[in-house]
Structure 1
Amino acid sequence: MAGSNNPLSTQCSKLHPHGTSEIVRIVRQLPPVHCTLKIESLSKLEEILDKSKNNSFESIQFGAGGYTWVFSVYPKGNDKANGEGHLSLYIRIVDKLAAGTFINVMFRFLIYDQIQDNYLVIQDLKERCFRPMKTEWGIPKALDLSTFHSTSEGFLVNDCCILGAEVLVLKGDNKAASFSMVKPQTIRKFTWRVTELKESIASSSFVIEGREWHLSLWSRGCGSETGRSLSLYLTLNDVSVSDLIAGRTLYAEFDLSIKNQLKGHYRKQTVHGWFSKGKASWGSSDLLPLTKLDNPSKGFKVNNAVVVEVNINVIFLLKDV
Protein backbone atom coordinates (compact mmCIF):
# COMPACT_ATOMS: atom_id res chain seq x y z
CA MET A 1 0.00 0.00 0.00
CA ALA A 2 1.27 3.48 -0.81
CA GLY A 3 3.11 5.12 2.07
CA SER A 4 3.21 1.92 4.15
CA ASN A 5 6.19 1.38 6.43
CA ASN A 6 5.61 -2.37 6.43
CA PRO A 7 8.70 -3.86 4.71
CA LEU A 8 6.75 -6.96 3.74
CA SER A 9 4.12 -4.86 1.96
CA THR A 10 6.81 -2.85 0.18
CA GLN A 11 8.62 -5.99 -0.91
CA CYS A 12 5.33 -7.53 -1.97
CA SER A 13 4.41 -4.65 -4.26
CA LYS A 14 7.81 -4.91 -5.93
CA LEU A 15 7.62 -8.64 -6.42
CA HIS A 16 4.04 -8.73 -7.64
CA PRO A 17 3.33 -5.69 -9.82
CA HIS A 18 -0.01 -5.27 -11.49
CA GLY A 19 -0.98 -2.86 -14.18
CA THR A 20 -4.25 -1.86 -12.52
CA SER A 21 -4.19 0.51 -9.55
CA GLU A 22 -7.45 -1.02 -8.28
CA ILE A 23 -5.57 -4.19 -7.32
CA VAL A 24 -3.51 -4.05 -4.12
CA ARG A 25 -1.30 -6.61 -2.45
CA ILE A 26 -0.45 -6.86 1.22
CA VAL A 27 0.84 -9.56 3.55
CA ARG A 28 -1.07 -10.79 6.61
CA GLN A 29 -0.97 -13.64 9.13
CA LEU A 30 -4.68 -14.50 9.30
CA PRO A 31 -5.92 -17.40 7.14
CA PRO A 32 -8.85 -17.04 4.72
CA VAL A 33 -12.24 -16.43 6.30
CA HIS A 34 -14.57 -17.97 3.73
CA CYS A 35 -12.84 -20.56 1.55
CA THR A 36 -9.52 -22.41 1.67
CA LEU A 37 -8.37 -24.66 -1.17
CA LYS A 38 -5.36 -26.92 -0.71
CA ILE A 39 -3.95 -28.44 -3.90
CA GLU A 40 -1.60 -31.26 -2.96
CA SER A 41 -0.26 -31.90 -6.47
CA LEU A 42 -0.49 -28.90 -8.78
CA SER A 43 1.33 -30.60 -11.65
CA LYS A 44 -1.14 -33.49 -11.59
CA LEU A 45 -4.08 -31.10 -11.46
CA GLU A 46 -2.70 -29.26 -14.51
CA GLU A 47 -2.32 -32.59 -16.30
CA ILE A 48 -5.90 -33.48 -15.44
CA LEU A 49 -7.19 -30.13 -16.70
CA ASP A 50 -5.23 -30.52 -19.94
CA LYS A 51 -6.67 -33.99 -20.52
CA SER A 52 -10.22 -32.83 -19.87
CA LYS A 53 -9.65 -29.69 -21.97
CA ASN A 54 -10.42 -27.38 -19.06
CA ASN A 55 -8.33 -24.46 -17.90
CA SER A 56 -9.89 -23.90 -14.48
CA PHE A 57 -10.75 -25.80 -11.33
CA GLU A 58 -13.43 -24.94 -8.78
CA SER A 59 -13.51 -25.30 -4.99
CA ILE A 60 -16.36 -26.76 -3.04
CA GLN A 61 -19.25 -24.37 -2.51
CA PHE A 62 -19.16 -21.95 0.42
CA GLY A 63 -21.65 -19.55 1.92
CA ALA A 64 -21.22 -15.81 2.34
CA GLY A 65 -23.90 -13.20 2.94
CA GLY A 66 -26.76 -15.59 2.34
CA TYR A 67 -25.49 -16.66 -1.10
CA THR A 68 -23.52 -19.65 -2.33
CA TRP A 69 -20.19 -19.21 -4.11
CA VAL A 70 -17.30 -21.17 -5.59
CA PHE A 71 -13.65 -20.20 -5.88
CA SER A 72 -12.19 -20.76 -9.37
CA VAL A 73 -8.48 -21.22 -10.08
CA TYR A 74 -6.82 -21.00 -13.49
CA PRO A 75 -3.36 -22.54 -12.82
CA LYS A 76 -1.99 -21.47 -16.20
CA GLY A 77 -3.96 -18.26 -16.51
CA ASN A 78 -7.26 -17.25 -18.08
CA ASP A 79 -6.16 -16.45 -21.62
CA LYS A 80 -9.64 -15.17 -22.51
CA ALA A 81 -9.05 -12.31 -20.06
CA ASN A 82 -5.41 -11.69 -21.03
CA GLY A 83 -4.21 -13.66 -18.04
CA GLU A 84 -1.50 -15.60 -19.88
CA GLY A 85 1.58 -16.19 -17.77
CA HIS A 86 -0.29 -15.52 -14.54
CA LEU A 87 -2.28 -17.34 -11.91
CA SER A 88 -5.90 -16.24 -12.48
CA LEU A 89 -8.35 -16.32 -9.57
CA TYR A 90 -12.13 -15.83 -9.65
CA ILE A 91 -15.28 -16.20 -7.58
CA ARG A 92 -18.56 -17.32 -9.10
CA ILE A 93 -22.02 -17.15 -7.59
CA VAL A 94 -23.83 -20.49 -7.66
CA ASP A 95 -27.34 -19.28 -6.89
CA LYS A 96 -29.61 -18.64 -9.84
CA LEU A 97 -30.32 -14.94 -9.76
CA ALA A 98 -33.74 -13.66 -10.69
CA ALA A 99 -34.03 -11.00 -13.37
CA GLY A 100 -33.27 -7.60 -11.94
CA THR A 101 -31.18 -8.96 -9.05
CA PHE A 102 -27.90 -7.15 -8.35
CA ILE A 103 -25.39 -8.15 -5.68
CA ASN A 104 -22.55 -5.73 -4.97
CA VAL A 105 -19.51 -7.33 -3.34
CA MET A 106 -15.84 -6.83 -2.73
CA PHE A 107 -13.49 -9.78 -2.69
CA ARG A 108 -9.90 -10.74 -2.07
CA PHE A 109 -7.75 -13.76 -2.77
CA LEU A 110 -4.99 -15.22 -0.62
CA ILE A 111 -1.92 -17.33 -1.41
CA TYR A 112 -0.10 -18.99 1.47
CA ASP A 113 3.66 -18.46 1.73
CA GLN A 114 4.84 -21.78 3.16
CA ILE A 115 8.31 -20.41 3.92
CA GLN A 116 7.34 -17.19 5.72
CA ASP A 117 4.13 -18.66 7.21
CA ASN A 118 1.96 -15.77 6.05
CA TYR A 119 -0.49 -14.95 3.30
CA LEU A 120 -0.14 -12.77 0.24
CA VAL A 121 -3.47 -10.94 -0.03
CA ILE A 122 -4.57 -9.79 -3.48
CA GLN A 123 -7.57 -7.48 -3.28
CA ASP A 124 -9.75 -5.81 -5.85
CA LEU A 125 -10.62 -2.41 -4.37
CA LYS A 126 -13.63 -1.88 -6.61
CA GLU A 127 -17.10 -3.12 -5.82
CA ARG A 128 -18.22 -5.71 -8.34
CA CYS A 129 -21.82 -6.28 -9.32
CA PHE A 130 -23.02 -9.87 -9.69
CA ARG A 131 -26.20 -10.18 -11.75
CA PRO A 132 -27.90 -12.79 -13.98
CA MET A 133 -25.71 -11.91 -16.98
CA LYS A 134 -22.49 -11.57 -14.94
CA THR A 135 -22.04 -14.34 -12.39
CA GLU A 136 -18.23 -14.42 -12.20
CA TRP A 137 -15.64 -11.83 -11.26
CA GLY A 138 -11.96 -12.17 -10.57
CA ILE A 139 -8.38 -11.10 -11.11
CA PRO A 140 -6.85 -12.53 -14.30
CA LYS A 141 -3.33 -11.42 -13.36
CA ALA A 142 -3.35 -12.29 -9.68
CA LEU A 143 0.28 -13.46 -9.62
CA ASP A 144 2.80 -14.02 -12.39
CA LEU A 145 3.62 -17.70 -12.81
CA SER A 146 7.38 -17.21 -12.55
CA THR A 147 6.93 -15.85 -9.03
CA PHE A 148 4.30 -18.43 -8.13
CA HIS A 149 6.56 -21.31 -9.20
CA SER A 150 9.78 -19.84 -7.78
CA THR A 151 11.24 -22.10 -5.08
CA SER A 152 12.47 -19.07 -3.15
CA GLU A 153 9.00 -17.54 -2.77
CA GLY A 154 7.27 -20.32 -0.86
CA PHE A 155 3.93 -20.23 -2.66
CA LEU A 156 4.48 -23.65 -4.25
CA VAL A 157 6.41 -26.17 -2.14
CA ASN A 158 6.72 -29.85 -3.05
CA ASP A 159 4.07 -29.27 -5.73
CA CYS A 160 1.60 -28.16 -3.03
CA CYS A 161 -0.10 -24.78 -2.68
CA ILE A 162 -2.82 -23.32 -0.46
CA LEU A 163 -5.16 -20.68 -1.86
CA GLY A 164 -8.05 -18.80 -0.35
CA ALA A 165 -10.94 -16.52 -1.19
CA GLU A 166 -13.00 -14.03 0.80
CA VAL A 167 -16.19 -12.24 -0.12
CA LEU A 168 -15.71 -9.08 1.89
CA VAL A 169 -18.20 -7.46 4.26
CA LEU A 170 -20.46 -10.51 3.92
CA LYS A 171 -20.56 -13.12 6.65
CA GLY A 172 -20.11 -16.80 6.06
CA ASP A 173 -18.68 -20.02 7.41
CA ASN A 174 -15.23 -21.11 6.29
CA LYS A 175 -15.21 -24.08 3.97
CA ALA A 176 -11.79 -25.69 3.62
CA ALA A 177 -11.05 -28.23 0.93
CA SER A 178 -8.16 -30.43 -0.06
CA PHE A 179 -7.56 -31.78 -3.55
CA SER A 180 -5.90 -35.02 -2.45
CA MET A 181 -4.45 -37.91 -4.40
CA VAL A 182 -5.04 -41.47 -3.25
CA LYS A 183 -1.70 -43.21 -3.63
CA PRO A 184 -1.56 -45.73 -6.51
CA GLN A 185 -0.40 -48.59 -4.27
CA THR A 186 -3.68 -48.45 -2.35
CA ILE A 187 -5.78 -48.90 -5.48
CA ARG A 188 -7.00 -52.32 -6.46
CA LYS A 189 -8.70 -53.74 -9.49
CA PHE A 190 -12.01 -55.49 -10.02
CA THR A 191 -12.41 -58.37 -12.47
CA TRP A 192 -15.86 -59.36 -13.66
CA ARG A 193 -16.68 -62.54 -15.54
CA VAL A 194 -19.97 -62.12 -17.37
CA THR A 195 -21.19 -65.67 -17.93
CA GLU A 196 -24.26 -64.77 -19.96
CA LEU A 197 -24.18 -61.70 -22.17
CA LYS A 198 -27.29 -59.56 -22.20
CA GLU A 199 -28.01 -56.29 -23.96
CA SER A 200 -27.17 -54.45 -20.74
CA ILE A 201 -26.00 -55.76 -17.39
CA ALA A 202 -24.49 -54.36 -14.19
CA SER A 203 -21.92 -56.03 -11.98
CA SER A 204 -22.18 -56.50 -8.25
CA SER A 205 -20.89 -53.61 -6.15
CA PHE A 206 -17.26 -53.44 -5.10
CA VAL A 207 -15.41 -51.08 -2.78
CA ILE A 208 -12.29 -49.10 -3.66
CA GLU A 209 -10.95 -46.47 -1.28
CA GLY A 210 -14.06 -46.62 0.88
CA ARG A 211 -16.47 -45.91 -1.99
CA GLU A 212 -18.89 -48.26 -3.72
CA TRP A 213 -18.66 -48.75 -7.48
CA HIS A 214 -20.02 -51.06 -10.13
CA LEU A 215 -19.40 -51.77 -13.80
CA SER A 216 -22.10 -51.44 -16.45
CA LEU A 217 -21.77 -53.37 -19.70
CA TRP A 218 -23.70 -52.97 -22.95
CA SER A 219 -22.92 -56.02 -25.06
CA ARG A 220 -24.21 -54.39 -28.26
CA GLY A 221 -23.02 -50.88 -27.45
CA CYS A 222 -24.66 -47.70 -26.22
CA GLY A 223 -25.07 -44.17 -27.51
CA SER A 224 -23.39 -43.54 -30.85
CA GLU A 225 -21.72 -46.96 -30.65
CA THR A 226 -24.99 -48.93 -30.48
CA GLY A 227 -24.71 -51.85 -32.88
CA ARG A 228 -21.01 -51.19 -33.41
CA SER A 229 -19.05 -51.82 -30.20
CA LEU A 230 -19.16 -53.32 -26.74
CA SER A 231 -19.45 -50.51 -24.17
CA LEU A 232 -18.19 -50.58 -20.58
CA TYR A 233 -18.60 -47.92 -17.88
CA LEU A 234 -17.46 -47.41 -14.29
CA THR A 235 -20.23 -46.02 -12.07
CA LEU A 236 -20.07 -44.53 -8.60
CA ASN A 237 -22.97 -46.02 -6.63
CA ASP A 238 -25.76 -43.86 -5.20
CA VAL A 239 -24.57 -44.30 -1.62
CA SER A 240 -21.17 -42.86 -2.58
CA VAL A 241 -22.54 -40.19 -4.91
CA SER A 242 -24.62 -38.85 -2.04
CA ASP A 243 -21.35 -38.00 -0.27
CA LEU A 244 -20.39 -35.66 -3.11
CA ILE A 245 -22.55 -32.81 -1.84
CA ALA A 246 -22.11 -29.07 -2.14
CA GLY A 247 -20.01 -29.21 -5.27
CA ARG A 248 -17.55 -31.87 -4.12
CA THR A 249 -16.05 -33.85 -6.97
CA LEU A 250 -13.91 -36.93 -7.40
CA TYR A 251 -11.50 -37.42 -10.27
CA ALA A 252 -10.48 -40.94 -11.29
CA GLU A 253 -8.07 -42.22 -13.91
CA PHE A 254 -8.63 -45.87 -14.69
CA ASP A 255 -8.13 -48.65 -17.25
CA LEU A 256 -11.07 -50.58 -18.68
CA SER A 257 -10.15 -53.93 -20.24
CA ILE A 258 -11.67 -56.97 -21.91
CA LYS A 259 -9.76 -60.24 -21.84
CA ASN A 260 -8.73 -62.30 -24.84
CA GLN A 261 -9.58 -65.66 -23.30
CA LEU A 262 -7.58 -67.59 -25.90
CA LYS A 263 -4.31 -65.68 -25.58
CA GLY A 264 -4.66 -64.39 -22.02
CA HIS A 265 -3.99 -60.72 -22.72
CA TYR A 266 -6.33 -57.74 -22.38
CA ARG A 267 -7.55 -55.06 -24.78
CA LYS A 268 -7.38 -51.86 -22.73
CA GLN A 269 -8.55 -48.25 -22.81
CA THR A 270 -7.53 -45.59 -20.30
CA VAL A 271 -10.37 -43.32 -19.17
CA HIS A 272 -10.41 -40.24 -16.95
CA GLY A 273 -13.34 -38.26 -15.60
CA TRP A 274 -14.80 -36.10 -12.84
CA PHE A 275 -17.42 -38.00 -10.82
CA SER A 276 -20.12 -35.88 -9.19
CA LYS A 277 -23.82 -35.91 -8.34
CA GLY A 278 -24.58 -34.83 -11.88
CA LYS A 279 -22.17 -37.23 -13.59
CA ALA A 280 -21.68 -40.56 -11.81
CA SER A 281 -20.56 -42.73 -14.76
CA TRP A 282 -17.51 -42.60 -17.00
CA GLY A 283 -16.24 -45.18 -19.43
CA SER A 284 -15.74 -46.35 -22.99
CA SER A 285 -18.53 -46.63 -25.52
CA ASP A 286 -16.17 -48.35 -28.00
CA LEU A 287 -14.08 -50.72 -25.89
CA LEU A 288 -14.26 -53.49 -28.50
CA PRO A 289 -15.77 -53.55 -32.00
CA LEU A 290 -18.57 -56.11 -32.35
CA THR A 291 -16.80 -57.55 -35.38
CA LYS A 292 -14.06 -58.73 -33.02
CA LEU A 293 -16.39 -59.65 -30.16
CA ASP A 294 -18.51 -61.89 -32.39
CA ASN A 295 -15.53 -63.52 -34.13
CA PRO A 296 -14.79 -66.80 -32.25
CA SER A 297 -11.18 -66.80 -33.45
CA LYS A 298 -10.50 -63.51 -31.64
CA GLY A 299 -11.14 -65.09 -28.24
CA PHE A 300 -12.95 -62.23 -26.51
CA LYS A 301 -16.26 -64.11 -26.22
CA VAL A 302 -16.14 -67.80 -25.31
CA ASN A 303 -19.37 -69.74 -24.72
CA ASN A 304 -21.22 -66.41 -24.65
CA ALA A 305 -19.05 -65.24 -21.72
CA VAL A 306 -16.63 -62.33 -21.48
CA VAL A 307 -14.15 -61.19 -18.84
CA VAL A 308 -13.82 -57.45 -18.21
CA GLU A 309 -11.77 -55.55 -15.70
CA VAL A 310 -11.29 -52.11 -14.20
CA ASN A 311 -8.02 -50.99 -12.66
CA ILE A 312 -8.14 -47.57 -10.98
CA ASN A 313 -4.73 -45.96 -11.30
CA VAL A 314 -5.31 -42.76 -9.35
CA ILE A 315 -8.06 -40.93 -7.51
CA PHE A 316 -8.13 -37.25 -6.67
CA LEU A 317 -10.77 -36.15 -4.20
CA LEU A 318 -11.90 -32.64 -3.40
CA LYS A 319 -12.91 -32.93 0.24
CA ASP A 320 -13.27 -31.00 3.46
CA VAL A 321 -10.23 -30.63 5.69
Structure 2
Amino acid sequence: MDAHYSVKGAILTGRYTPPTHYVFKIESFSKLTKAIEDKYSSDKFDAEGFSWKLSIYPTGDGSKNGKCHISIFLELDTSLAVGSDVNATVNLFVFNHFEDKYFSFQDGRVRRYHALKKTWGIAKFIDIETFSNPQNGYLLDDTCVFGAEIFVIKSSFKSERLSMMNEPSTYFQTWKITKFSSNLTTENYSSGYFGYYGWYILLCPDGIGKGKGNSISVFLCATKSKIPADTKLFTKFILRVKDQTDGNRDVEIEDNHMYSPDSILSGRVELLSLAKLQDPKMGFLVDDTVSIEAEVALLGLVMKEQ
Protein backbone atom coordinates (compact mmCIF):
# COMPACT_ATOMS: atom_id res chain seq x y z
CA MET A 1 0.00 0.00 0.00
CA ASP A 2 1.22 3.51 -0.84
CA ALA A 3 1.86 5.98 2.00
CA HIS A 4 2.43 9.73 1.98
CA TYR A 5 5.02 11.54 4.04
CA SER A 6 5.87 15.22 4.34
CA VAL A 7 9.54 16.22 4.36
CA LYS A 8 9.98 19.96 4.96
CA GLY A 9 6.76 20.65 3.07
CA ALA A 10 7.46 18.25 0.18
CA ILE A 11 5.13 15.27 -0.17
CA LEU A 12 6.84 11.95 -0.74
CA THR A 13 4.89 8.85 -1.74
CA GLY A 14 6.01 5.59 -0.14
CA ARG A 15 5.60 2.00 -1.28
CA TYR A 16 6.98 -1.42 -0.39
CA THR A 17 7.85 -2.39 -3.97
CA PRO A 18 11.47 -1.60 -4.97
CA PRO A 19 12.12 0.71 -7.96
CA THR A 20 11.53 -1.12 -11.21
CA HIS A 21 14.80 -0.36 -12.97
CA TYR A 22 17.63 0.54 -10.61
CA VAL A 23 18.59 0.41 -6.92
CA PHE A 24 21.75 2.19 -5.74
CA LYS A 25 22.98 1.26 -2.23
CA ILE A 26 25.66 3.42 -0.63
CA GLU A 27 27.59 2.17 2.38
CA SER A 28 29.72 4.56 4.48
CA PHE A 29 27.81 7.53 3.13
CA SER A 30 29.75 9.95 5.30
CA LYS A 31 33.04 8.84 3.77
CA LEU A 32 31.60 9.31 0.27
CA THR A 33 30.58 12.84 1.22
CA LYS A 34 34.15 13.68 2.19
CA ALA A 35 35.72 11.90 -0.78
CA ILE A 36 33.92 13.76 -3.58
CA GLU A 37 33.52 17.43 -4.36
CA ASP A 38 30.07 17.44 -5.91
CA LYS A 39 28.48 14.22 -7.16
CA TYR A 40 28.83 10.48 -7.50
CA SER A 41 27.44 8.83 -10.65
CA SER A 42 26.41 5.21 -10.88
CA ASP A 43 27.41 2.77 -13.58
CA LYS A 44 25.24 2.72 -16.67
CA PHE A 45 22.06 0.70 -16.51
CA ASP A 46 19.50 -0.14 -19.18
CA ALA A 47 15.82 0.67 -18.99
CA GLU A 48 13.12 1.00 -21.63
CA GLY A 49 15.60 0.51 -24.45
CA PHE A 50 17.98 3.28 -23.36
CA SER A 51 21.08 3.61 -21.18
CA TRP A 52 20.96 5.77 -18.01
CA LYS A 53 23.07 6.95 -15.05
CA LEU A 54 21.94 8.01 -11.59
CA SER A 55 23.85 10.86 -9.94
CA ILE A 56 23.77 11.70 -6.23
CA TYR A 57 24.93 15.04 -4.76
CA PRO A 58 25.46 14.27 -1.03
CA THR A 59 25.69 17.94 -0.08
CA GLY A 60 23.41 19.27 -2.79
CA ASP A 61 23.88 20.73 -6.25
CA GLY A 62 24.64 24.34 -5.48
CA SER A 63 24.43 25.38 -9.14
CA LYS A 64 20.72 24.45 -9.07
CA ASN A 65 19.95 25.93 -5.64
CA GLY A 66 20.15 22.54 -3.97
CA LYS A 67 22.29 23.61 -1.04
CA CYS A 68 21.57 21.80 2.26
CA HIS A 69 19.71 19.05 0.40
CA ILE A 70 20.43 15.71 -1.19
CA SER A 71 20.22 16.28 -4.94
CA ILE A 72 19.46 13.39 -7.29
CA PHE A 73 19.51 13.38 -11.09
CA LEU A 74 18.87 10.86 -13.86
CA GLU A 75 21.03 11.22 -16.97
CA LEU A 76 20.26 9.72 -20.36
CA ASP A 77 23.49 8.02 -21.46
CA THR A 78 22.36 7.19 -24.99
CA SER A 79 23.36 9.35 -27.96
CA LEU A 80 20.48 11.21 -29.58
CA ALA A 81 20.41 12.84 -32.97
CA VAL A 82 19.64 16.56 -33.02
CA GLY A 83 15.87 16.95 -33.27
CA SER A 84 15.02 13.61 -31.67
CA ASP A 85 13.85 13.23 -28.09
CA VAL A 86 12.84 10.75 -25.41
CA ASN A 87 9.72 11.48 -23.38
CA ALA A 88 9.44 9.63 -20.09
CA THR A 89 7.90 9.68 -16.65
CA VAL A 90 10.67 9.38 -14.07
CA ASN A 91 10.41 8.37 -10.42
CA LEU A 92 13.41 8.88 -8.11
CA PHE A 93 13.46 7.10 -4.74
CA VAL A 94 15.05 7.09 -1.31
CA PHE A 95 14.60 4.09 1.00
CA ASN A 96 13.33 4.37 4.59
CA HIS A 97 14.78 1.51 6.65
CA PHE A 98 12.33 1.85 9.53
CA GLU A 99 9.21 1.76 7.38
CA ASP A 100 10.72 -0.64 4.83
CA LYS A 101 9.40 1.60 2.06
CA TYR A 102 10.76 3.47 -0.93
CA PHE A 103 9.71 7.12 -1.01
CA SER A 104 9.56 9.28 -4.11
CA PHE A 105 7.97 12.37 -5.59
CA GLN A 106 4.99 11.39 -7.76
CA ASP A 107 3.97 14.37 -9.90
CA GLY A 108 3.16 12.39 -13.05
CA ARG A 109 4.88 14.90 -15.32
CA VAL A 110 6.48 13.83 -18.59
CA ARG A 111 10.18 14.67 -18.86
CA ARG A 112 11.61 15.44 -22.28
CA TYR A 113 15.20 14.32 -22.85
CA HIS A 114 16.96 15.50 -26.01
CA ALA A 115 20.45 16.15 -27.36
CA LEU A 116 20.74 19.50 -25.54
CA LYS A 117 19.14 18.38 -22.27
CA LYS A 118 20.01 14.85 -21.22
CA THR A 119 19.70 15.23 -17.44
CA TRP A 120 16.65 15.68 -15.27
CA GLY A 121 16.32 15.48 -11.50
CA ILE A 122 15.42 17.11 -8.21
CA ALA A 123 17.90 19.53 -6.65
CA LYS A 124 16.01 19.60 -3.35
CA PHE A 125 15.09 15.94 -3.15
CA ILE A 126 15.35 15.69 0.65
CA ASP A 127 16.96 18.12 3.09
CA ILE A 128 20.21 16.95 4.68
CA GLU A 129 19.00 17.56 8.24
CA THR A 130 16.05 15.19 7.81
CA PHE A 131 18.07 12.68 5.80
CA SER A 132 20.97 12.53 8.28
CA ASN A 133 18.87 12.19 11.45
CA PRO A 134 19.06 8.45 12.30
CA GLN A 135 15.63 8.62 13.90
CA ASN A 136 14.07 9.27 10.48
CA GLY A 137 15.32 5.99 8.95
CA TYR A 138 16.87 7.23 5.69
CA LEU A 139 20.48 6.89 6.81
CA LEU A 140 20.95 3.83 9.01
CA ASP A 141 24.41 2.64 10.08
CA ASP A 142 25.78 5.17 7.59
CA THR A 143 24.01 3.26 4.79
CA CYS A 144 21.35 4.60 2.41
CA VAL A 145 19.56 3.42 -0.71
CA PHE A 146 18.38 5.39 -3.73
CA GLY A 147 16.59 4.18 -6.83
CA ALA A 148 15.05 5.06 -10.17
CA GLU A 149 12.43 3.84 -12.55
CA ILE A 150 11.73 5.17 -16.00
CA PHE A 151 8.75 4.68 -18.25
CA VAL A 152 9.37 5.90 -21.80
CA ILE A 153 6.28 7.11 -23.59
CA LYS A 154 6.30 5.61 -27.05
CA SER A 155 4.17 7.75 -29.30
CA SER A 156 1.82 5.89 -31.62
CA PHE A 157 -0.37 8.75 -32.77
CA LYS A 158 -0.45 10.01 -36.33
CA SER A 159 -0.33 13.67 -37.23
CA GLU A 160 -1.77 15.20 -40.38
CA ARG A 161 -2.14 18.77 -41.58
CA LEU A 162 -5.02 19.90 -43.77
CA SER A 163 -4.31 22.93 -45.94
CA MET A 164 -7.48 24.28 -47.55
CA MET A 165 -7.21 26.00 -50.91
CA ASN A 166 -8.08 29.70 -51.00
CA GLU A 167 -9.32 29.32 -54.57
CA PRO A 168 -10.01 25.63 -55.31
CA SER A 169 -9.07 24.51 -58.80
CA THR A 170 -11.91 22.78 -60.66
CA TYR A 171 -11.38 20.42 -63.59
CA PHE A 172 -13.95 19.26 -66.15
CA GLN A 173 -14.28 16.37 -68.55
CA THR A 174 -16.97 15.34 -71.01
CA TRP A 175 -16.64 11.80 -72.33
CA LYS A 176 -18.74 10.46 -75.18
CA ILE A 177 -18.73 6.65 -75.50
CA THR A 178 -19.76 5.63 -79.01
CA LYS A 179 -20.93 2.15 -80.07
CA PHE A 180 -21.98 1.63 -76.49
CA SER A 181 -24.00 -1.55 -77.12
CA SER A 182 -21.02 -3.43 -78.47
CA ASN A 183 -18.97 -2.29 -75.47
CA LEU A 184 -21.18 -4.13 -72.97
CA THR A 185 -19.01 -7.20 -73.43
CA THR A 186 -15.91 -5.42 -72.03
CA GLU A 187 -15.52 -5.12 -68.24
CA ASN A 188 -14.39 -1.49 -68.07
CA TYR A 189 -13.29 1.53 -70.09
CA SER A 190 -11.54 4.73 -69.10
CA SER A 191 -11.62 8.24 -70.49
CA GLY A 192 -8.62 10.36 -71.30
CA TYR A 193 -6.73 12.10 -68.51
CA PHE A 194 -7.50 15.63 -67.37
CA GLY A 195 -6.12 17.93 -64.67
CA TYR A 196 -2.81 17.95 -62.78
CA TYR A 197 -3.43 14.71 -60.89
CA GLY A 198 -4.36 12.72 -63.98
CA TRP A 199 -8.10 12.44 -63.31
CA TYR A 200 -10.10 10.10 -65.48
CA ILE A 201 -13.57 8.54 -65.64
CA LEU A 202 -13.83 4.77 -65.28
CA LEU A 203 -16.92 3.09 -66.73
CA CYS A 204 -18.06 -0.50 -66.20
CA PRO A 205 -20.82 -0.77 -68.85
CA ASP A 206 -22.32 -3.96 -67.40
CA GLY A 207 -21.75 -2.94 -63.80
CA ILE A 208 -19.72 -4.44 -60.98
CA GLY A 209 -20.64 -5.62 -57.50
CA LYS A 210 -24.31 -4.95 -56.73
CA GLY A 211 -24.64 -3.27 -60.11
CA LYS A 212 -23.46 -6.30 -62.09
CA GLY A 213 -25.88 -7.02 -64.95
CA ASN A 214 -28.39 -4.32 -63.96
CA SER A 215 -26.59 -0.95 -63.91
CA ILE A 216 -23.63 0.96 -65.21
CA SER A 217 -20.90 1.63 -62.65
CA VAL A 218 -19.07 4.95 -62.96
CA PHE A 219 -16.08 6.22 -60.98
CA LEU A 220 -13.80 9.23 -60.84
CA CYS A 221 -10.18 8.13 -60.51
CA ALA A 222 -6.84 9.79 -59.92
CA THR A 223 -3.55 8.53 -61.32
CA LYS A 224 -1.68 6.89 -58.44
CA SER A 225 1.78 8.00 -59.59
CA LYS A 226 0.61 11.64 -59.65
CA ILE A 227 -0.21 11.76 -55.93
CA PRO A 228 2.85 12.40 -53.73
CA ALA A 229 3.59 9.92 -50.97
CA ASP A 230 2.09 10.83 -47.58
CA THR A 231 -0.36 13.20 -49.29
CA LYS A 232 -4.13 13.09 -49.67
CA LEU A 233 -6.31 15.14 -51.99
CA PHE A 234 -9.48 16.47 -50.38
CA THR A 235 -11.97 16.82 -53.22
CA LYS A 236 -15.56 17.48 -54.13
CA PHE A 237 -16.69 15.86 -57.34
CA ILE A 238 -19.70 15.36 -59.58
CA LEU A 239 -20.30 12.46 -61.96
CA ARG A 240 -23.15 12.93 -64.38
CA VAL A 241 -24.79 10.77 -67.08
CA LYS A 242 -26.28 13.25 -69.55
CA ASP A 243 -29.81 13.30 -70.92
CA GLN A 244 -28.85 14.10 -74.50
CA THR A 245 -32.33 15.17 -75.58
CA ASP A 246 -33.53 18.04 -73.41
CA GLY A 247 -31.15 17.72 -70.43
CA ASN A 248 -33.92 17.52 -67.85
CA ARG A 249 -33.26 13.97 -66.75
CA ASP A 250 -29.52 14.02 -66.07
CA VAL A 251 -28.49 11.47 -63.43
CA GLU A 252 -25.63 12.58 -61.21
CA ILE A 253 -23.91 12.10 -57.89
CA GLU A 254 -22.09 14.74 -55.89
CA ASP A 255 -19.69 13.62 -53.20
CA ASN A 256 -16.48 14.32 -51.29
CA HIS A 257 -13.54 11.95 -51.39
CA MET A 258 -10.02 11.89 -49.97
CA TYR A 259 -7.81 10.60 -52.77
CA SER A 260 -4.46 9.05 -51.87
CA PRO A 261 -2.05 6.51 -53.36
CA ASP A 262 -4.11 3.88 -51.50
CA SER A 263 -7.52 5.25 -52.51
CA ILE A 264 -7.62 6.45 -56.10
CA LEU A 265 -11.25 5.71 -56.94
CA SER A 266 -14.70 6.89 -55.89
CA GLY A 267 -18.12 6.69 -57.51
CA ARG A 268 -21.22 4.46 -57.67
CA VAL A 269 -21.65 0.82 -58.64
CA GLU A 270 -25.34 1.53 -59.42
CA LEU A 271 -25.23 4.98 -60.94
CA LEU A 272 -27.87 4.32 -63.62
CA SER A 273 -29.88 1.18 -64.33
CA LEU A 274 -29.41 -0.46 -67.71
CA ALA A 275 -33.19 -0.39 -68.15
CA LYS A 276 -33.31 3.41 -67.92
CA LEU A 277 -30.14 3.76 -69.96
CA GLN A 278 -31.58 1.73 -72.79
CA ASP A 279 -35.02 3.35 -72.70
CA PRO A 280 -35.13 5.61 -75.81
CA LYS A 281 -37.55 7.98 -74.05
CA MET A 282 -34.97 8.84 -71.38
CA GLY A 283 -32.36 10.31 -73.72
CA PHE A 284 -29.30 8.66 -72.13
CA LEU A 285 -28.48 6.49 -75.14
CA VAL A 286 -28.67 8.40 -78.42
CA ASP A 287 -27.28 6.98 -81.64
CA ASP A 288 -25.70 4.26 -79.46
CA THR A 289 -23.68 6.98 -77.66
CA VAL A 290 -23.54 7.73 -73.95
CA SER A 291 -22.25 11.04 -72.59
CA ILE A 292 -20.68 11.20 -69.12
CA GLU A 293 -19.39 14.35 -67.44
CA ALA A 294 -17.06 14.82 -64.51
CA GLU A 295 -16.25 17.83 -62.38
CA VAL A 296 -13.66 17.71 -59.62
CA ALA A 297 -12.61 20.53 -57.30
CA LEU A 298 -9.44 20.23 -55.22
CA LEU A 299 -10.48 21.68 -51.86
CA GLY A 300 -7.32 21.00 -49.91
CA LEU A 301 -4.24 18.90 -49.29
CA VAL A 302 -3.74 16.63 -46.28
CA MET A 303 -0.10 15.87 -45.46
CA LYS A 304 1.42 13.66 -42.81
CA GLU A 305 3.71 15.32 -40.34
CA GLN A 306 6.61 13.83 -38.42
TM-score using structure 1 length: 0.46
Which of 1 and 2 has greater Rg?
2
